[in-house]
Amino acid sequence: MSRLLRTPRLRRPAARPGALAALAAAGALTLAACGTGTGAGGSGGAPDTLTEIDYYDAAPQNTQLPQILDECAAQNGVKVKHQQVPRAQFMPKLLQQASARTLPDLALVDNPDLQQLAATGGLVSLSKAGLGTDGLYPSIVQAGQYEGQTYGIAPGVNGLALYYNTDLLTQAGIEPPTTWAELTTAAKKLTKGPRYGLAFSAVGTEEGTFQFEPFFWTAGASLKQLDSPQAVKALTLWKDLVDAGSASKSVVTWTQADVNDQFMAQNAAMMVNGPWQLPTLNADKKLHFGVVPIPIPDAGAKPVTPLGGEVWTVGHSNPAREAKAVAVVTCLLGKDESAKWSKDAGYIPSNQQAAAQLGAADPQLAAFVAEVGTARARTTELGTGYPKVSQALADAVQAALAGGTSPASALSQAQRAAKN
């Protein structure tokens, strides 16, 4: 029987990372001469309105963000003028504004893009502005740093875990897998007719790299050496799953939203995906599912997942505007506000106490909360060099899964591309 695929809905996941091609095209803007303009808000005394920009175009983020922003703005005696820009245009626009010193007062930026934006000199150092980070996960604080200074802070983050269809696993007599060996066995046993055992996104962008990194890092691989034995081991796992028919060859074209569609249609018994999918999944009352941490190579290891989500930044303008903007960010990072934002958006609070409370109250989020403590900021190893290496890694995954190249050869090519 042919494996019929459900046509994916045209929507974007909350934490869809990447748009690296757009960033590369815009990179030259960071070299432009920088003036001493007054920023988006103009000059003068204390403002009554701050400007804000983000790329959210899907519920619940786009509906909840303005409300929480307005609440924090009101507490600090200002209003916020909200602007939403399509994701592909977002970083090119910000980089151009940074070069001209006209950045908005507030911007919500995908965390791996933060260092590139901070390198322009257009952002306020939140460290020097006195913004405290006590109680936040250290890995989350690190994700917003550039050259030892904090330029962005996430109110909440997301990551990846393994979703499984409880009905299908029960019928097959399978427990949720915890190791790679168990994952391989379960995926093979659950593959039947038009249904694959496992679905993941191996699309050739940052989104595909984001999905591969939990396996890559948990194996002990480093982005500084893409062709290490540990990296080959991780890519071999994915290739073996596809070659065995336990995962579809179409994973090289599936986004995370497409993967979710396959899972909801029961074309996949398990999937790798993030907490932002939970509102959609829970809306289907006929779908019964559970969530566990990403399987590990061997018992005793800890999953190392990439931190997804966005950080709040403050653009340079004048002292009065900057102070108000920092005050609004401080409010957004508060325990209650962080918990509210995360619950609405399908994220994990950056505040450790709020995250623990959320994980205890919501079993569906417990796996994601458990992983935050060992999660890794994507720019930790390479800083502003991350985008180039990320694309090289995505290309290697594509070459191995779709191009017939061995994992070792694909990763060797990736390592050469990353060094050029």
Q: What's the average model confidence in pLDDT over 343-349? A: 82
Which of 62-71, 176-185, 297-306 tops mean pLDDT? 176-185
pLDDT (0 to 100) of residue 373: 86
pLDDT tens per residue, range 260-294: 999 999 999 999 999 999 989 999 999 999 999 99
Q: Residue 118: which residues within 8 A CB-CB, separation 6 or more?
A: 146, 147, 149, 151, 152, 313
Q: Which residues of 59-90 are buried (b: 16+ CB within 10 A; e: fewer)?
A: eebbebbbebbeebbeebebebebebbebeeb
Distance of CA 360 to the CA centre of its chain: 23
Measured over the CA atoms of residue 106, residue 109, residue 111 and residue 117, the dihedral's sign is negative
CATH number attached to the domain at 20-157+309-372: 3.40.190.10
Measured over the CA atoms of residue 19, residue 20, residue 25 and residue 29, the dihedral's sign is positive
Task: State pTM to two decimals.
Answer: 0.82
pLDDT (0 to 100) of residue 343: 77
Q: What's the average model confidence in pLDDT over 198-221? A: 97
pLDDT (0 to 100) of residue 64: 66
CATH superfamily of 161-305+382-419: Periplasmic binding protein-like II (3.40.190.10)
pLDDT tens per residue, range 15-72: 434 333 333 333 333 323 333 334 444 444 568 999 999 998 754 555 567 788 999 9
- Cα 400 to Cα 406: distance, rounded to the nearest angstrom: 6
Query: What residues does each domain of the chain span?
Result: 20-157+309-372, 161-305+382-419
Joined together, the tokens standing for residue 364 give 């569906």
pLDDT (0 to 100) of residue 87: 87
- Cα 353 to Cα 359: distance, rounded to the nearest angstrom: 10
Distance of CA 239 to the CA centre of its chain: 23
pLDDT (0 to 100) of residue 68: 87
Q: How confident is the model at residue 358 (pLDDT cuts 50, 70, 90)?
A: confident
Query: Given the structure tokens 């820009």, which residue do they identify?
Result: 85
Q: Average per-residue pLDDT in the chain?
A: 87
Contact between 164 and 289 under an 8 Å Cβ cutoff? The reply is: yes
Fill in the DSSP letter of residue 88.
H
pLDDT (0 to 100) of residue 58: 58
Q: How confident is the model at residue 239 (pLDDT cuts 50, 70, 90)?
A: very high
In terms of pLDDT, which residue wins out, 20 or 114? 114
pLDDT (0 to 100) of residue 341: 80
CA distances from 227 to 97, 233, 319, 349, 394 (A): 38, 10, 48, 34, 13
Contact between 387 and 20 under an 8 Å Cβ cutoff? The reply is: yes
Contact between 6 and 261 under an 8 Å Cβ cutoff? The reply is: yes
Label the pairing between strands 49-54 and 79-84.
Answer: parallel
Helix (H) or strand (E) holding 106: strand 106-110
Joined together, the tokens standing for residue 276 give 């932002």
Amino acid at 252: V
- Cα 48 to Cα 324: distance, rounded to the nearest angstrom: 9
pLDDT (0 to 100) of residue 162: 98
20-157+309-372 matches 161-305+382-419 in fold: yes
- Cα 258 to Cα 398: distance, rounded to the nearest angstrom: 17
- Cα 259 to Cα 68: distance, rounded to the nearest angstrom: 30
What angle is formed at CA 17 by the lines to CA 14 and CA 18, rounded to 5 degrees? 140
- Name 136's bridge partners: 351
Query: Given the structure tokens 């990372």, which residue do they identify?
Result: 17
Query: Given the structure tokens 């594509």, which residue do they identify?
Result: 398
Does the structure show a pLDDT above 60 at 3?
no
Q: What's the average model confidence in pLDDT over 317-341? A: 91
- Name 351's bridge partners: 136
- Cα 63 to Cα 201: distance, rounded to the nearest angstrom: 27
- Cα 213 to Cα 401: distance, rounded to the nearest angstrom: 16
- The total of other beta-carbon atoms located within 10 Å of residue 385's CB is 14
